[in-house]
Amino acid sequence: MTVKGRVVMVTGASSGIGEATARLLAERGATVICTSEREPDLKRVTDSIRDAGGNAVPVVVDFSKPEAVDGLIEKLETNVGPIDVLINNAGVGMRAQVTERPFADTRFVLEVNFFAVASLCSQLLPRMYSRNSGRIINVSSAAGQFGCAGMSAYSASKGAIHAYSQAVRVEALAHNVYISEVVPISVRTAFFQNVRGKTYKPLGIVLTVESVAKCIVNCAERNKPAAEVWPYFWIRMVFILNAFFPGLFVKLNFRTFKRNLNEHGESIK
């Protein structure tokens, strides 16, 4: 499998992981449909890809609005061609304790991070089934497998992506369609400055966008893509241990939570 000559859709391609992934895909010869709600940034990315000899198609779409997502796949396949690979990367963060933000913010995070993904999958999968081929790569987060205190809505949205990917993966195999999940930890990106609620300074190991993008594209090009891809392997060992010692990890999570609050000059609400 190679992405050369194939149509690949990347959501959230105007910055961060999405931008790095779109650039790498274009370098390897793919036609990249780049989507984002931030039109100026999206134009910058797609113009840069084209200037370098790549093929990029900018599509402005706000994934927080269901009406903007409905029918999107049909429109894109009509105008660009059949989508061989979908990379669901678009996402928003929210760092806040439950008592600090209105519930509408939680709904907003779930709309962008999960419901938009589920909508795109439900639109595209019947088309991939009829072609008996296709790949979907959902970018989730380690926070979706062990909820982070102070980031409950974000953790819940990524946890939903994890369970959804697990379930749909089995259904899709009967049609030669592969569903993969990429599970990064903190990544060095402006994502943490654009969250709802309060900004977040990631602690500990922080990955680069290029390293995560390479994992995503390599997954897309495997003959049989892995079910889960962990850009930082050792964090997976932590979650395996959590299955055996959940009480211990509640204590560790609480310590991390307090450390994060101290780093940001905040207190428990």
pLDDT of residue 194: 56
pLDDT tens figures, 197-227: 666 666 666 788 999 999 999 999 999 999 9
**Domain residue ranges of the chain, discontinuous segments joined by +:** 7-235
CA dist 28 → 1, 24, 130 (Å): 12, 6, 26
What CATH architecture is 7-235? 3-Layer(aba) Sandwich (3.40)
Q: Is the dihedral of CA 72, 75, 80, 85 positive or negative?
A: positive
Checking if the pLDDT of 67 tops 90, the result is yes
Residue 197 is predicted with a pLDDT of 63
Q: What is the pLDDT of residues 6-44, one digit of tens each?
A: 999 999 999 999 999 999 999 999 999 999 999 999 999
Average pLDDT of the residues in 239-263: 71
pLDDT band at residue 128 under the 50/70/90 scheme: very high
**Burial of 206 (C-beta count, 10 Å sphere; 0-12/13-18/19+):** middle
Question: Which residues form the catalytic set?
Answer: 154
